Each structure stands twice: as C-alpha cells, then as structure tokens.
Amino acid sequence: MHDIKEEKRARVLDPIDRVSEVIFGLLMAMTFIGSLSVATAGQETVRTMMVTALGCNLAWGLADAVMYLVRTVTDRTRNRTLFLRLCKETNAASGQALIAGALPPRIAAAAGNEGLEMIRRRMLEFSDAPIPPRLRLDDFKGAFGIFLLVTLATFPVVVPFMLLHQVAVAIRVSNMVALGMLFLAGWALARYAGGSRWRGGTVMAITGTLLMLAIMALGG
C-alpha cells in the first residue's frame, strides 16, 4: 500500500505535467493580450480582456482537473485489470508477455526473460493485495493543483495592466514577463531531462511565442 501511495504522489508531482499546465495557462492568457490593439485599446477594453482571460483559464483549468481524475481512474483500472490477468495466467511465458507489454520497449528488452520472470514472481507474491481503482483524497488534491496552476498562470502577465495606465507600456511589460516565464519553464524541463538549461529555456521561449501567434492566427 505504501508503494501505491508513493507511485501516486510521484505522478501528481510529475514535473513535465506541472510545467506543461503552467505553459498552457500562460499561452491562453498571452493569446488574449496579443489581441489588444495599442492604438485603440482603452481601459474598458483592457478590463474586458483581463476578465475574459481569467474566465478562459478558469474553464480550462476545471476541464484539465476533471480529465486528470478521468485519466487517473482509467490508468488505475487498467493496472488492476493487468494485475488480475497476471494472477490468473498459469503460463510463465504468457505472464512475461503481459509484463513486457506494460513496460517501455527498451526496458522490457533490457530485462530479458529472466528479469521479466523475476518481476512476474514478485508481483504474484502480492496477489492478495487490493488495488482499488477508486479515487482517493490525494487524487483530488492533484486535480485541484492542476486547476490552480492553469488559473494562476494568468496573473503574472495580467498584473502589468493593473499597475500601468499606459496600454502600450503594459503590453510590452506583459510580453517580457511571458517570455521570462516561458524561458523558466523550458529551463525547468531541461533540468529535469538533464539537458542544456539555457538551450531548453531559449527553445521554449521561441516555441511558446510561435504557438501564441499560431493560436491568434487561427482565431484564438
């Protein structure tokens, strides 16, 4: 049971998922800001933009949170089904094939028949361990965390419009903040992957900007 909790916690705190949620929320907010016209945008237009951007990210944050719970239940049910099939399988080769199918191809190949058989036997030792597919409190905490990440990603790029009265200056500052956040997101992903952090940050900043332009070109 302890191992199940640790696996679940690791999934909730997965750096790739968390950074991706921040990037997604940031891109949505940048799309609305990018639609502002320096020449015609007034305070009322800016206020409408901020409310719309926040509302959009609230909606998408809620959708992402719900889909996270759906994915969690689906993965847990699949793992339970695989475990039950393994327990009922009397043929060692068939059991090894089930395990190999659930592992990444390179890991399965590296494990070989002996490694797969060792895993099969160890799993059969826990054949009486319950694996309930239902959602737990930590799952809802993870979903709430996703909702917060997507929603809070709106505020750093919106704050300049709250503090600065000149729309043109606020847009420039907001864009700089957004680029900085994209760079830090790429830095974090590169650090997690063990790659070049400066290259990861630069590529993410460029990629995020291109994505924002593409989203705007397609109608936002």
**Is 196 among the domain residues?**
yes
**Is 220 among the domain residues?**
no
Return the minimum-mean-pLDDT range out of 2-11, 136-145, 202-211: 2-11
**Is 69 among the domain residues?**
yes
Token match 């719900």: residue? 66
Q: How many domains does the chain have?
A: 1
**Is 65 among the domain residues?**
yes
- Average pLDDT for 149-159: 86
**Is 112 among the domain residues?**
yes
pLDDT category of residue 2 using cuts at 50, 70 and 90:
very low
Q: CA separation (Å) from 82 to 40, 77, 95, 120, 124? A: 60, 9, 10, 12, 12
Q: CA angle at residue 191 from 183 to 187, to 5 degrees?
A: 5
80-123 pLDDT, tens digit per residue, is 888 888 888 778 888 888 888 888 888 888 888 888 888 888 88
The pTM for the full model equals 0.73
Look up the domain containing 67 and give its range. Answer: 2-158+165-215
**Is 63 among the domain residues?**
yes
Q: What is the pLDDT of residue 198?
A: 93
